[in-house]
Chain A
């Protein structure tokens, strides 16, 4: 088991006289002190513009910003640091691909019912805007996929596939390598929503051969408002920009009454305007922190906690697990319903109020899959998600709370 709890100051906090049990990392991960310190260092020692100002503080800011991109590239094993574009979050990364990738008029986009709204809606809107075809692959009721459905959906007209690598509801890990192989064979690019996968599993974008990967720093111990779009350099070079402006150009000439921009290569052409330097520095530090601990160790640690949680939840009357219980194809989270409690929000409220156990409840921004399961948004599902700083005591208190809830409501 990992023992990193001392790195996370918030775990010292007590609420209602109890230490907190934070099981909502699939929404927002806690921050290790070194991430906070790295960001503070920027604000305290060199709070200047990166890539613009030539003075000492500007140079230090530029160096830290560049170094952070390199740290993140190493985290993903990207071939070039330039393949990592700083964004606000995975949502923005996915919108960049959906909005800016050049697609022919007869192109088809393929996505699934298991996507977070951020992984489906940008592509739904792109298809609507340009009159493109879009086909939706239905996940199975346990959150897994039948690979034959992807073979059927991805045809020669498909140019883009958007798929969630690890579901934030079921935790199931998609067979992405197989889907990428199918897509590439048929001439389509693949965008992977790695918001849930990257923080919890080793991710090697070169080995996976994925074309785009969208990541949120806030789910991997980094700051809020920071994300990354990984893209193969050839695709980024060919892509239009989502935003343009300062720092995206090598020259902007004025000739014959026209303004003529010459854009820089990636990553600069995508990073318009003053950047969130502190955020990027924090994201790079978080990537370095997780790399140092080891993603294989983190994956193993989470699965050991998940195994205990799943086994005990399955033994409880009234509890139904949403998604597969095969931990070998699962990220460290479990969503569930409790049939003696009408709304999942009541589960979360009870655990929070009575046990200081913090879980998520609702539809988790995955409306289509909840509707597919026949679960109304007003009922929703509860979700407990584990990360490197959780331990068996956390799981035990969560289970104790669940038993008390069932006893009180059944």
Chain B
């Protein structure tokens, strides 16, 4: 959610995973190498209505659901 909060546009899955592996997020992303755990967590956030994903050319785009 931190990653999407700081993004100005929707991000692709691999963009999120690349950002997650950066030093900036090292403290919140200890198990991101393969991305499996990260994706499962992201899917749960979609279920909770906190983030959204949409299938477009190239794959899914993830975006924070921002309140009014």
Contacts and interface: CB of A to CB of B under 8 A. Distances in A.
Interface of A: 340-343, 345-346, 349-350, 361-365, 367, 376-380, 408-410
A378 B55 contact: no
A17 B50 CA distance: 25
A409 B57 CA distance: 4
A363 B60 CA distance: 19
Interface in B39-64: 39, 43, 55-60
Contacts of B7: none
Main secondary structure of the interface of A (DSSP, over half): loop
Contacts of A363: 33-34
Contacts of A343: 12-14, 17, 35, 59
Contact of B34 (A346, A380, A408, A409): A380
Contact of A342 (B39, B43, B59): B59
Contacts of A361: 36, 39
Nearest to A379: B14
6 A-B pairs with the lowest CB-CB distances in the bound complex, closest first: A378-B17, A346-B59, A343-B13, A362-B34, A343-B14, A342-B59
Contacts of B33: 363, 367, 377
Q: How large is the interface on B (under 10, 10 to 19, 20 to 34, 35 or more residues)?
A: 10 to 19
B58 A349 contact: no
A409 B14 contact: no
Interface string B4-26: 00000000111101100100000
Contacts of B56: 409
A377 B13 contact: no
B35 A409 contact: no
A348 to B, nearest CB: 8
A180 to B, nearest CB: 31
A350 B55 contact: yes
28 contacts: A340-B58, A342-B13, A342-B15, A342-B58, A342-B59, A343-B35, A345-B13, A345-B17, A345-B39, A346-B13, A346-B60, A349-B39, A349-B43, A350-B60, A361-B36, A361-B39, A364-B34, A376-B14, A377-B34, A377-B35, A378-B21, A378-B35, A379-B14, A380-B34, A380-B35, A408-B55, A409-B57, A410-B57
A122 B67 CA distance: 49
A378 B56 CA distance: 18
Contacts of A346: 13, 55, 59-60
B23 to A, nearest CB: 15
Contacts of B18: 378
Nearest to A346: B59
